[in-house]
Amino acid sequence: MVKLRKIGSQLAKSFFLTLFASGVFYTQLAYADVPDVGTMLENFSATVPQFMQLVTAIAYVMGIWFVTMGISALKEFGESRTQMSAHHSLKAPLIYLGVGALLLYLPSSVQTGLSTFWQDANPYGYVSEATDQWTTMYNDCFMIVQLIGTISFVRGLVIFTKLAGHGGGEGGFGRGLTHVIAGILCINLNDFLAAINGTLGITGLTSSSS
């Protein structure tokens, strides 16, 4: 079981390292001619849908892995009960199965998180029909922030699996929850900024969706 946890942790680390390396690689290709900032953002935002698909695909793989670990932990729990052992609990299998299910249904998990904070969540409310340079740059920035938010959401779920360890994963729940909430806020950044606007009376933080 300990070996499975180590492999799962290594897979999670490999995921984020691969994503970072891919970003550096594609960024170097896109920026070979050293364009201006607006063009750089536009080039990178054009690859965001592909990165989203990559993140979702890897989340599916990790979800299957954690579900497998959960089933294995349930088997160990059943064997320990048969042997009248008190060294196992249902905490680990339930955590692995729960996180695995959330990763397998990542789009639904994200939507549930958005619905928790906003009644009518609109992650793409920032999109504007205007084609001027600043509006285009604004939209590109929001797309990139959404990608970062999705990665943060997945990272938070992976951190939750540390609670299944014998040490209880000290600080794991707080860090995981922070990543999940930050990810949700980034995914729906437009409504989050609108909430700040309405609370503090600050103008100019959101773009028109018309």
- Give per-residue pLDDT as tens, 148-193: 889 999 999 998 888 877 555 566 788 888 899 988 888 888 777 7
* pLDDT over 70 percentage in the chain: 63
- Would you say residue 123 lies in a domain? yes
Q: Which residue has the tokens 């604004």?
A: 138
Angle made by CA atoms 3, 106, 59, in degrees to the nearest 5: 35
136: amino acid identity, one letter: T
Provide the pLDDT for residue 25.
Answer: 47
Q: Give CA–CA dist 34/14, Å, rounded.
A: 29
Q: What tens digit of pLDDT does each residue of 77-97 get?
A: 777 666 655 556 778 888 899
Q: Does a structural domain hold residue 208?
A: no
Structural domain span for residue 181: 2-200
pTM of the model: 0.70
Number of domains in the chain: 1
Return the exposure string of 111-137: e unless at least 16 CB atoms fall within 10 Å of the residue's CB, then b: eebbeeebeebebebbbeeeeeeebbb
Domain annotation covers residue 71: yes
Within a domain: 21? yes
Whole-angstrom distance, CA of residue 206 vs CA of residue 59: 30
Helix axes 37-46, 48-82, angle to 10 degrees: 50
Reading the block at residue 41, the tokens are 């953002």
206 domain-assigned: no
Query: Quick one: how far is CA 156 from the chain centroid?
Result: 7
> Rounded to an integer, what distance in angstroms lies between the CA atom of residue 158 and that of residue 139?
29
- Would residue 185 count as lying in a domain? yes
Stretch among 1-5, 55-59, 138-142, 144-148 having the lowest mean pLDDT: 1-5
Alpha carbon distance 170, 168 (integer Å): 6
Instruction: Report the C-alpha gap between 13 and 5 in whole angstroms.
Output: 12
- Mean pLDDT score of the chain: 74
Q: Is residue 175 part of a domain?
A: yes
Residue 134 within a domain:
yes
